[in-house]
Amino acid sequence: MTIFKELKERGLIFQTTDEEALEKQLAEGPLALYSGYDPTADSLHLGHLVPIIVIRHLQLAGHKPYALVGGATGLIGDPSFKDSERSLQTKETVENWSQSIQKQLARFLDFEHGDNKAEMVNNYDWFQSISFIDFLRDIGKYFTVNYMMSKESVKKRIETGISYTEFAYQIMQGYDFYELNRTHNVTLQVGGSDQWGNMTAGTELLRRKANKQGHVITVPLITDSSGKKLGKSEGNAIWLDANKTSPYEMYQYFVNTMDDDAVRFLKIFTFLSLEEIEEIRVAFEQEPHKRLAQKILAKEVVTLVHGKEAFDKAINITEQLFAGNIKNLSANELKQGLNNVPNYHVTKEDNLNIVDLLVTANVVTSKRQAREDVTNGAIYINGDRVQDVNYILSDVDKIDGELTVIRRGKKKYFVLTY
């Protein structure tokens, strides 16, 4: 199976500019390709992982990837399918975010070995020396206003308003492709399906200015079987930075994948062979209650993004919380595992009697309910049952001096911080 056919089989290709010609070029020998990432935050998120995986597949097949960080385009802002103008960031902020993203990209591609080792580039390096007049004369003349306005990313904003800054974004991205072709013979760009208009601006510039054919692969917008955009949980992105989304949270996100999506996501998000995935599918469908596909998916993604040690810690947190072994976990591990549970910051003025504190921390609504819960054995402090209504919390109840975990019943957790 050719690499192009494998990418299609995995569900990783949404659109291409000339499928037959591209498949032929990929089969004939190594080509240079790139994928760009604007520093719109200090971390990439799950949506960015899909094109990264595509270029990693292509590198494993012998092709040479260039990872582009948009130090210049990040100063402008991509209007693609945004309802309003992006807030412009300072050069210092964009530079800091660019450095963070470069470090993240280095985890996924091989930058050290072989003739096709990956290279990192930043489009600020070529845009900083181009004058406005030169850019208009040498690049702008190849784009008509009609062509630029035909892009869906622009058409959706015409009625609400779009600045010239964002209107010109597609020309800048188009020039990236031209510049990488000129300097590194890059002939393929990989990106998200929302980038089609910006990416084909590059193939158009290559055709008109250099009389060359460039190719584009867009990856699909990944949604679950309910149509929900993947990577969004309670309105928050699943970040690739462990400080923004912990490995435990990422593990839980994938291990709770719906049955209808699990095998499909194995094809998209892992480097397991299609044969291995087929074996998993057969076993999974025979005993879906064991959630084999989800467990393997979560393991592969967390290990890919954060490493095996982080995955092992995520598993440990999961197992200890399930067993109620709170004292076997550190404060840092508990912060990951109980990140989304209600919490209350205890002050010096708070009464530390268990009954009073249960009410103050909103664990229960009344002292009567608190006394009943304690007496009936429904309250646990750091995994230990407390049935004395006169119990006073002290420093010995603080894990690593930072927090105390209260459990009410079997599954309702609350965290006290100090």
- Tell me the two tokens of residue 418: 């100090």
34 marked as binding residue:
yes
313 marked as binding residue:
no
124 marked as binding residue:
no
391 marked as binding residue:
no
Binding residues for L-tyrosine, by number, are 34, 169, 173
Binding residues, by number, are 34, 169, 173, 232
Binding residues for ATP, by number, are 232
